[in-house]
């Protein structure tokens, strides 16, 4: 079925170049209200693109990003000509985020979504001490480390890769469980998990070794327990050029040296 995109809305980060690009493209292609547009065109860097996906999550809105930042891994190349044709030919990806439920030291439960990863990070000079359960079964009784993350395929080339975690193809039904500077067990380097499982991380000695939890941009201080699962109830929709799709970008990362 041919998709018809009659209206575009251009939004940008706060940088001068991104704002100028949005104004110029709006003069060329028109500017619709973001709520009414067929496609929202996001101009900025990866952080702005990630925030846009969060803001439009589960709205059914299609997001087409063009790089006006530095790395631009999540975005398409910036070009002014033939934009409608590019969007018409773009590949659509559906991203199901992770759902984090974090319990803090006061017993409050905080819910947040993550497109890239949920990470737990030590809050002080002392290493974190964590217990890891997968589907209610203890897999690591005690992990001493600087942190631990659950990463999606979409986020596997971000913080996860910097922590020496595996790169996952975008369509792989997997999650990466990756430690940050593990001390004990010294040889444990993480695990690949089916994306249908529930991961529970208990913070041991939390008073002595405080830990924060982060779901993309949402941070929770002094957590006691974090539960992470992928949810199909919520969807982000992203468009990428067929010659520069997310699948291609993730594959290319595996051959960089």
**Residue 102 CA: distances (Å) to CA of 119, 141, 147, 187:** 11, 19, 15, 28
Task: Order across the sheet with 8-12: list the strands.
Answer: 8-12, 39-44, 62-67, 236-240, 91-95
- Does 154 show up as a binding residue in the annotation? yes
- Does 12 show up as a binding residue in the annotation? no
Of the CA atoms within 13 Å of residue 203, those in its CB half-sphere come to 30
Residues, the chain: 257
- Does 162 show up as a binding residue in the annotation? yes
| Whether the Cβ atoms of residue 152 and residue 97 lie closer than 8 Å to each other | yes
- Does 108 show up as a binding residue in the annotation? no
Q: For residue 185, is the peptide bond before it cis, meaning its omega torsion is within 30 degrees of 0?
A: yes
- Does 159 show up as a binding residue in the annotation? yes
- Does 28 show up as a binding residue in the annotation? no
Closest CA to 119 of 50, 74, 165: 165
- Does 146 show up as a binding residue in the annotation? yes
- Does 67 show up as a binding residue in the annotation? no
Residue-wise DSSP of 83-135 = HHHHHHHPEEEEEPPEEEEEEETTS-EEEEEESSEEEEEE-SSSPEEEEEEET
Q: Is 46 a catalytic residue?
A: yes
- Does 157 show up as a binding residue in the annotation? yes
From 33, 38, 46, 55, the catalytic residue: 46
- Does 160 show up as a binding residue in the annotation? yes
Where is the binding site, in residues?
Answer: 46-47, 116-117, 146, 154, 157-162
Residues annotated as binding site for NAD(+)?
Answer: 46-47, 116-117, 146, 154, 157-162
| Active site amino acids | 46
């Amino acid at each position: 079925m041919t998709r018809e995109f009659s209206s575009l809305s251009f939004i940008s980060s706060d940088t001068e170049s991104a704002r100028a690009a949005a104004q110029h493209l709006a003069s060329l292609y028109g500017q619709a209200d973001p709520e009414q547009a067929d496609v929202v065109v996001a101009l900025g860097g990866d952080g702005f693109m990630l925030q846009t996906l969060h803001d439009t999550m589960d709205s059914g809105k299609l997001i087409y990003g063009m790089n006006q930042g530095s790395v631009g891994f999540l975005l398409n190349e910036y070009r002014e000509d033939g934009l409608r044709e590019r969007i018409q030919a773009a590949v659509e990806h559906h991203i199901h985020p992770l759902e984090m439920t974090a319990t803090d030291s006061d017993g409050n439960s905080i819910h947040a979504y993550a497109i890239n990863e949920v990470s737990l990070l030590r809050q002080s000079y002392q290493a974190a001490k964590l217990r890891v359960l997968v589907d209610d079964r203890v897999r690591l009784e005690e992990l001493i480390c600087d942190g631990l993350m659950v990463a999606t395929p979409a986020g596997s080339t971000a913080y996860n890769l910097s922590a020496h975690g595996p790169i996952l193809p975008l369509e792989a039904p997997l999650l990466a469980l990756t430690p940050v500077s593990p001390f004990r067990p010294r040889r444990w380097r993480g695990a690949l998990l089916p994306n249908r499982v529930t991961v529970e991380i208990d913070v041991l000695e939390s008073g002595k070794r405080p830990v924060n939890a982060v779901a993309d941009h949402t941070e929770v201080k002094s957590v006691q327990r974090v539960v992470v699962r992928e949810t199909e109830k919520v969807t982000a929709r992203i468009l990428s050029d067929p010659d520069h799709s997310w699948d291609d970008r993730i594959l290319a990362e595996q051959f960089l040296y």
